[in-house]
Amino acid sequence: ILNVEQSPQSLHVQEGDSTNFTCSFPSSNFYALHWYRWETAKSPEALFVMTLNGDEKKKGRISATLNTKEGYSYLYIKGSQPEDSATYLCAEAGGTSYGKLTFGQGTILTVHP
């Protein structure tokens, strides 16, 4: 993998459903993996920053895991609510000795009431 890639590109779920997204990243020169939520007309806001292989982080109904050896991270949302509708971005800090922050294209989540 040469770039940060996210899947799926978009997702429609019903209120109450649980869902998950994938972020794949180059596993060489890795420093950190970031997840952001970007709501319409707002700025992206950080959810998690993870650095260690096997890291798991949780904030309310949202959690994330990290596998640096194989170069992927999962973001999980339990019991989706309409207010969870947003674009979810992951970003890798790495790739060079200075650790620039490179974003994927995002997963657009729409939660229907």
Rounded Cα–Cα distance for residues 79 and 24 (Å): 24
Tokens of 48: 């998690």
Closest distance of CB 42 from other proteins, Å = 8
Single residue of 22, 26, 27, 49 touching other proteins by CB under 8 A: 49
The secondary structure of residue 97, as a DSSP letter, is: T
Other C-beta atoms lying within 10 Å of the C-beta of residue 90 = 29
Closest distance of CB 83 from other proteins, Å = 20
82-111: which residues touch other proteins (CB under 8 A)? Answer: 89, 91, 93-94, 96, 98-106
Cα distance from N-terminal residue to C-terminal residue, the chain? 37
- Residues at the site binding other proteins, with contacts judged by CB under 8 A: 6, 31-32, 34, 36, 43-46, 49, 51, 89, 91, 93-94, 96, 98-106
